[in-house]
Amino acid sequence: MAAKENTKKVVNALIKTIKNKKLYGEKSQAVDKFLEESYEILVDFLRKFGPLSIIISENNLIIQDEIVYSDDNKITSLPLYLYRNGIRSITFLEDISKNELSRFLSIISTHDLSGESSLLDDLWEENFDNILYYIIDRPLKDYSWVLEGNTNLTADNLYIQPINVEYNLDENLSELIQKIKGPVTTSPPAVLNELMEEERENSLLHTLFSLMSLEKKMDRAIEIVRVLKSYTDNAIKEGNINVIYKISNRLMEENNDEFKEYKEYFNEIIESTLSDEALSLYTTCILENTSKERTHKCLNLLLKGERRATPFAEKILAFSDDPEVLHGVKEMLQSIGKHHPEIVIHLLNPAKIKNFKIALEIIEYLKDPSFLPHLEKYVEEPKLTKLVLKPLFSILPREKLFNYIDSPNDYLRLQAYRYIKNLENEDEMNYFLNKVRSKDFYSLYPEEQENILRILSTMHSYEVIDTFNSILKKFTFNKYIIAIKRKLIYYLAKINTEDAWKTINKYKKSRKLKNTVREVLRKYGKK
Amino acid sequence: MVKNENLIIYLSSSLRTALFFEKESKTFKTHTHRLYNIIQQLLHEENDDITIDINNNYLFINNERVEISLEIMGVYRILVNDLSLRGIGKIIFRQGLLEEELKNFAFIVGRSKPLYTNTFDGIFEKIREEGISNITIGELEEFESVKEAKETSLRKEAIKNFLNGIFYLKESAYNTILGTSVKLGQAKKIIRGFIDLITEDEDFIIGLTTIKNIGSYTLNHSVNVSILSIAMGLKLNLQRKDVIELGIAGLFHDIGKIEIPETIIDKPGPLTPTEYSEIKKHPHLGVEKLILIKHMQNIPAFAIRGILEHHIDYDGSGYPPLNIETPSLFARIIRVVDTYDAMTTPRVYQDARSPFEAIQFISQNKEKKFDPKIVDRFIELVGIFPPGTIVEIDTGEVGIVYNRNTVILIGKQSKKINVEKLGRKIQRVLTPEEAGLDPSSVFIALGLKS
């Protein structure tokens, strides 16, 4: 009794999925949901009650003599449709997989009615392991009259005589046969690996391009390119990323002299792969991020859209938090931004902070000074200063960097110091020496003082050593200045000239500095 | 009652799965595991052995006729058919049955060739060799009559399928010339028929390829190439959908010839270079035709590539000039079977070679013209003396090879001769002219038997 009650539930769930597949196609999330549900209900039933068999009559689905589903609509009735296609019963076995059920329901719901194949052919081709069905097939026409007169024999006077070519050979034949015979195999050859789905796609493309190269008549060749175009359009419609990816790459490869007559037609196909429909497909694919390989292909395809791809990339940025996806989009925009800086500027909108940050990373990568004015306007905005400075300094001309060293904004000034790794000429050296020599030097922030001295230490000049010495010899109990003096000992050691060591040695006996001096002497192997 | 039905379902599915999956595959093991559980439950409930009997196409379990619901009528018929055609009339599962025994048993039965006189003996022997002690089988009493009836109906079906292939191609050729659609639906149905028939009676279907020049050379030859390609696809364990495509490739491999004047195709003498260059266009003209026909929506990719490359040798030479290292798998298969069938067909410009000579030629040209692995599998398929080879055996009689184990003699009772266990020795191979015999007449006679 419990089994009977549950059968209705199973059948209704299956019918719901079929109807939805018919209505929304294969790619809809709603269909996935229905499939998931019906699979769970079916498997639960099979687990509890064993195989489920359904009889199909003209208008009904029947289980154990009870009608569990009925529909007498001549156009939409599922039982009638199955019945007309010859299906009389279906049995689901316990080990059915979701994929198997999905393929089965897809064939039933989306079977091609154009006459390309019958429902039976489609089901038979799939060779389901856990779905059995009983079908009445339409008989073939009988043309055997054609053969009448082709034989004067009758089966009644034909007799079977066993032979054995393996063990009882004539000598002459034996030798010949040994030459002919190949090795006996127990398993099929490995060549079958090539029959992967991917190879199928390669095969079609390969054939179409082969035909293009063989065909001398332009009008026919163009017809072949049109087939390629409709193949592409179909792949976009069906969301077959692999095919689109292959076509797109192949067209780029083949855009050479051999196919120069087709350039215009190839461009038309390329345009198809960059249509809004296609770009939207790639976007969904990236957002779904079902596999690394697929997402990578979609990113590559989207990239080819260049400027047109930017709004789609923005959509991805808005909806995805997946670090890998975001990284992929950033790389894609980097690539587009090289030739179209305006798309980066467009992203540089603080209202959309995710886009803003990615734009900054792209600017830092591209190092294009044309972005400068677009960044500078955010430098003084407290919330953005920190974000903007690194990319800004990476594209800032050196002379402009020195402007920031004179900035009244402490944070900007310090960051500018940090960004300067070394001095490039005497003017720069004098600029910093003047700062040290100025009476205001000791009123600067210790970190600022330290940075100035660090920068100076990159110039191995006597003037720098002499200036450092003048600080070292200054008598003080100020612990900050003492700390600076110790740093100077290190900087001098780094300068590592004879004059620098002479200066260091002068402070061997200084109470505050002798330990530091001893340490650098040891470190640099000086006595 | 339900358990009996489940026993039928899983015994049937285990035997069928054995056909397509290896013994250690998950799919096969899952089905036999289910079967094992059901048998164990029945053994436990009955506290006795479980005996399945077949009598007059009905199944009996422990002497009680199984009342079958309409839902599993199809599976029931398939099981009765599968067991009967192997000569099995009784199966006894004993207490103490091991799962491994059941798995080996299902595999042996599922993989055995139906419709052979010695199939039952072979299964019996293998069960003994495998040490399966808790399953016993008994021979179907009416096997000979079941076998004969089944063979007759299969052969009729095969002839039907064969001729439908020719008529379908003829219609497709007209449609192609007219530029209207070539519907693959009918082709798929015919090819599906061939696949089913090859699975049940491979020898006869291959024997049918001895029929030549019905309709026209190209039509008949194309159906033959399709049959042999399908048989190769099955031998190579290809998936069903790929075997269908291979069959399509075989059917349409010469469709490009409809664009070449018949005066060139059927020219009795040698071809001029211009004529030959016309002939060489047929692979790509054929593929173009197929893909440019408006309604050919889902282009079978492997098939069209196979057609395009079917005259390219294994070493890359041949035509059309495509500069490829190795032709595709389908092309390599068609290259072998196309050559075989063309060589064994009489043409206006050449006599037919014997199947044995064709095999010799193909074997001698391994590596250069033909993929050696495909050649080896092809020889495994048709044998050294392929069906239709006319041979003289050591009794001095002339017969036609039916399969690797039997020849067919005309007008003499076989039982009187069939005394030697090892069978007769082949003395020499004859041409149809020498023998005054058309090998196809034997297969046609068998197929037309009423």
pLDDT digits (tens, 9 = 90+) for A450-478: 999 999 999 989 999 999 999 998 888 88
The count of structural domains within chain A is: 2
Inter-chain touch A169–B69, beta carbons under 8 Å: no
CB contact at 8 A, B414 and A160: yes
**DSSP 8-state symbol, B366:** B
Q: What is the pLDDT of residue A8?
A: 87
Which among A91, A144, A231 is the nearest to B448, CB-wise?
A144
CB contact at 8 A, A398 and A378: no
Burial-class residue A5 by CB neighbours within 10 Å (0-12, 13-18, 19+). exposed
| Alpha carbon distance A523, B284 (integer Å) | 80
For residue A151, the chain B residues in CB contact (below 8 A) are 438, 440-442, 444-445, 448
Judge whether B13 is closer than 8 Å to chain A, CB to CB: yes
Q: What is the pLDDT of residue A282?
A: 95
Which among A117, A160, A168 is the nearest to B402, CB-wise?
A160
Domain interval for residue A511: 420-523
Judge whether B104 is closer than 8 Å to chain A, CB to CB: no
Inter-chain touch A191–B328, beta carbons under 8 Å: no
Which among B189, B373, B423 is the nearest to A189, CB-wise?
B373
3 state SS of A168: coil
For residue A135, the chain B residues in CB contact (below 8 A) are 74
| Alpha carbon distance A231, A248 (integer Å) | 12
Q: Which one is predicted more confidently, B369 or A171?
A: B369
| Alpha carbon distance A247, A236 (integer Å) | 11
Q: What is the pLDDT of residue A275?
A: 94
What value of ipTM does the predicted structure carry?
Answer: 0.80
Per-residue pLDDT at B442 exceeds 60? yes
Distance from CA of B253 to the nearest CA of A (A): 14
| Alpha carbon distance A373, B119 (integer Å) | 89
Nearest CA in chain B to A134: B74
3 state SS of B396: coil
Residue A162 domain flag: no
Inter-chain touch A185–B397, beta carbons under 8 Å: no
For residue A194, the chain B residues in CB contact (below 8 A) are 328-329
Which range among A162-166, A287-291, B54-58, B354-358 shows the weakest confidence by mean pLDDT? A162-166
Residue A484 domain flag: yes
Domains in chain B with CATH codes: 2-141 (no CATH), 148-382 (1.10.3210.10), 390-439 (no CATH)
Name the domain boundary from A106, A135, A164.
Answer: A135
Nearest CA in chain A to B34: A94
Inter-chain touch B13–A93, beta carbons under 8 Å: yes
CB contact at 8 A, A274 and A236: no
Average pLDDT over residues B66-77: 83
Residue A97 domain flag: yes
Average pLDDT over residues B337-355: 91
Nearest CA in chain A to B189: A121
Q: What is the pLDDT of residue A27?
A: 67
Q: What is the pLDDT of residue A198?
A: 63
Residue A193 domain flag: no
| Alpha carbon distance B251, B228 (integer Å) | 11
Distance from CA of B92 to the nearest CA of A (A): 24
Judge whether B410 is closer than 8 Å to chain A, CB to CB: yes
Average pLDDT over residues B226-241: 92
For residue A228, the chain B residues in CB contact (below 8 A) are none
Distance from CA of A137 to the nearest CA of B (A): 10
Inter-chain touch B237–A188, beta carbons under 8 Å: yes
Q: Strand A52-56 vs strand A87-92: parallel, antiparallel, or unpaired?
A: antiparallel
Distance from CA of B360 to the nearest CA of A (A): 6
Other Cβ atoms within 10 Å of A338 Cβ, number:
13
Inter-chain touch A169–B425, beta carbons under 8 Å: yes
Inter-chain touch A188–B2, beta carbons under 8 Å: no
Name the domain boundary from A77, A108, A135.
Answer: A135
Rounded mean pLDDT of chain A? 86
CA B255 from centroid of its chain's CA atoms = 23
pLDDT digits (tens, 9 = 90+) for B415-436: 444 444 556 778 888 888 888 8
Instruction: Name which of B355, B319, B353 is nearest B335 in CA terms.
Output: B319
Which among B5, B241, B445 is the nearest to A153, CB-wise?
B445
Residue A490 domain flag: yes
Nearest CA in chain A to B321: A214
CA B115 from centroid of its chain's CA atoms = 13
Which range among A260-269, A380-389, B44-53, B384-393 shows the weakest confidence by mean pLDDT? A260-269
**String of DSSP letters for B141-169:** TTHHHHHHHHHHHHHHHHHHHHHHHHHHH
Give pTM, 2 decimals. 0.79
Write the CA distances from B369 to A301, B280, B345, B353, B377, integer angstroms: 41, 16, 20, 19, 15
Per-residue pLDDT at B390 exceeds 80? yes
Which among B69, B375, B448 is the nearest to A182, CB-wise?
B375
For residue A116, the chain B residues in CB contact (below 8 A) are 183-185, 297-298
For residue A170, the chain B residues in CB contact (below 8 A) are 425-428
Inter-chain touch B237–A200, beta carbons under 8 Å: no
| Alpha carbon distance A488, A464 (integer Å) | 11
Strand order in the sheet with B406-410: A158-162, B406-410, B398-403, B390-393, B426-430
For residue A206, the chain B residues in CB contact (below 8 A) are 305
pLDDT digits (tens, 9 = 90+) for A89-129: 899 998 999 999 999 998 888 765 555 678 888 888 888 88
Q: Strand B390-393 vs strand B406-410: parallel, antiparallel, or unpaired?
A: unpaired
Name the domain boundary from A75, A107, A135.
Answer: A135
**Which residues 49-88 of B are in CB contact (within 8 Å) with A?**
69-75
Inter-chain touch B441–A153, beta carbons under 8 Å: yes
HEC string of A83-109? HHCCEEEEEECCCCCHHHHHHHHHHHH
Q: What is the pLDDT of residue B419?
A: 40
Rounded mean pLDDT of chain B? 88
Provide the pLDDT confidence category of residue B140 given band limits of 50, 70 and 90. very high
The residues of chain A scoring below 50 in pLDDT are 189-191, 193
- Across-strand partners of B393? B426
| Alpha carbon distance B51, B388 (integer Å) | 43
Judge whether B411 is closer than 8 Å to chain A, CB to CB: yes
